[in-house]
Amino acid sequence: MSILVNKDTKLVVQGITGRDGKFHTGRMKEYGTNIVAGVSPGKAGESVDGIPVFNNVAAAVKATGANTSIIFVPAPYAADAILEASEAGVALVIAISEGVPVQDMIRVTPILKQNGTLLIGPNCPGLITPGEALIGILPAMIFKPGNIGFISRSGTLTYEVVNLLTLNDFGQTTCVGIGGDPVAGLYFIDLLERFENDPATKAVVLIGEIGGDAEEQAAQFIAEKMTKPVVAFIAGQTAPPGKRMGHAGAIISSGSGTAEEKIAAFNKAGVPVAKEPAEIPELLRRKMAELSK
């Protein structure tokens, strides 16, 4: 079991003929992801890696039954691509594009809600259900199937931590990179809830960072609603206030959104917070041992 994506996922790649789209289509296909279609306006009839290309998402969905989309189009066109997928009936959209204006995402949100479309990203590395489907730009070799759910606002920090998990024999059910933007799709609580309901997931690792209060909300959700253990790490304890730390959403504004507040919230909720990534496997081991007593 897993959440959101598995071997039955039928993926359409929006922006498949672009440099990034083409490259990552190859890697996802190699991993075994079931990619059924690509979209690139004006390139219908072509194929990339043997995958048929369509002019629009609606045609791709009609011909192939695609139910999940990944978006590689440049940021100025990302909101349009997300809406196109949603209107074509795609159930889950993963937007990799980095640098999407916030107002674009705000405008997209109510339409996705109305259509019942789930979104991950933008500005995210995507997600993976190890052994079944890679939908994103994550380096496949560090993941292995197992029983840990993984949620992170960051890309390479995810790789760092997942690698440590895998080396310590903690495989993963599904790993989701939710992205570094202030207004994004599925977030901590949405995914914690799914992991709580996924029988295969035994524990969850959550990687947060400065900016916003999603970690505080997650802590409250864990305290009130979750039976499975969660271990956390928060990046940005040394970040200066008022500066955007690479990710558009990673900013301490008016003194709120600090790492200290988030760590305190997790501690209060009984969620151990690692001092450094290397500590996470040990915390996980302890938490899971506690549970099996």
Partner 1 sequence: MKIHEYQARQIFRDYGIPVPDSVLCYTVSEVEKAARDMNRMVVVKAQVLAGGRGKAGGVKLARTVEDAVTAGKQILGMDIKGYTVEKVLVADAVNIAKEFYVGLINDRNTKSVILMASAEGGVEIEEVAKETPEKIIKFSINPLTGLLDYQARNVALELFGDIKLANKAASIFTKLYKLYVETDATLAEINPLVLTPENEVLAIDGKMNFDDNALYRQPKILAMREPDEDELQEIAANEKGLAYIKLDGNIGCMVNGAGLAMATMDMIQLYGGSPANFLDIGGSSNPQKVIDAMNILLGDKNVKAVMINIFGGITRCDDVAKGLIKALEIIITDVPIVVRLSGTNAAEGLELLKQTGLPTVSSMSEAAKKAIELSKR
Shortest distance, position 37 Cβ to partner 1, whole Å? 23
Question: Please, which residue, 63 or 113, has the CB nearer to partner 1?
Answer: 113
Selecting among 247, 250, 269, 272, the annotated active-site residue is 247
Whether 24 is a known active-site residue: answer no
Shortest distance, position 192 Cβ to partner 1, whole Å? 16
Question: Please, which residue, 47 or 156, has the CB nearer to partner 1?
Answer: 156
Shortest distance, position 133 Cβ to partner 1, whole Å? 17
Question: Please, which residue, 45 or 255, has the CB nearer to partner 1?
Answer: 255
Neighbours of 39 (CB within 10 A): 30
Question: Please, which residue, 125 or 149, has the CB nearer to partner 1?
Answer: 125
Could you list the residues that contact partner 1 (CB under 8 A)? 75-76, 99-103, 105-107, 109-111, 125, 137-139, 141-142, 152-160, 163, 180, 182-183, 207, 209-210, 212-214, 217, 233, 235-240, 243-250, 254-255, 259, 275-278
- What phi and psi values does residue 213 have, to the nearest 5 degrees? -135, 25
Question: Please, which residue, 37 or 222, has the CB nearer to partner 1?
Answer: 222
Shortest distance, position 269 Cβ to partner 1, whole Å? 18
Shortest distance, position 96 Cβ to partner 1, whole Å? 10
**Residues labelled as active-site residues:** 247
